[in-house]
Amino acid sequence: MGVSVAFDYGLWIARYPEFSNVDPLLVDQYFIEATMLHRNDGSGPVNNPSQQLLLLGMVTAHICQLNAPLNGQPSSTLVGRINVASEGTVTVSADYDAPASTQGQYFAQTKYGAAYWAASAPFRTMRYVPGPRRVTNPWYRGGIYW
């Protein structure tokens, strides 16, 4: 039904060069964490390996942006999207305005998460799988017994 892909650091860093200062072993751990948020065991809804790798790369970048120390600075403790910023006497305000109790709130914190949330929308819909057809009397066919 779905596909499983292996992490390719070289391909990932080519797409997200802003994370080149993050230790590759740490990025590998972020990929493992990403598989907890986006299924990579072969039973998910994504059938195309390229799409699967791209979606997992977006989640990995999202986790990396939230947690990795960048340019020698620790990761930010700010949660949400910055909606007010000023420079004189420094003011920053963040807005965590996604639909309540959805994963969309979590993914809306970074541009990578927002891109993942939008790209994964077709895979988050209900899939109807019909059950077996019930036959109460297999020998009865429209008034005639066989």
* pLDDT, tens digit (0-9, with 9 covering 90-100), for 27-85: 999 999 999 999 999 988 899 999 999 999 999 999 999 888 766 666 665 666 666 77
Position 106 scores a pLDDT of 83
User: 47 near 6, Cβ under 8 Å?
Assistant: no
pLDDT given for residue 85 in this prediction: 75
DSSP at 73: B
Q: How many angstroms separate the CA atoms of 52 and 24, rounded?
A: 20
CB 46 within 8 A of CB 52: yes
Among candidates 83, 71, 88, 84, which has minimal Cα distance to 19? Answer: 71
**Of 107, 110, 104, 79, which is closest to residue 92 (Cα–Cα)?**
79
Radius of gyration of the chain (CA): 23
**H helices within 38-99, ranges in order?**
49-67
Mean pLDDT of the 87-109 span:
72
Q: What is the pLDDT of residue 107?
A: 87
- pLDDT value, residue 132: 84
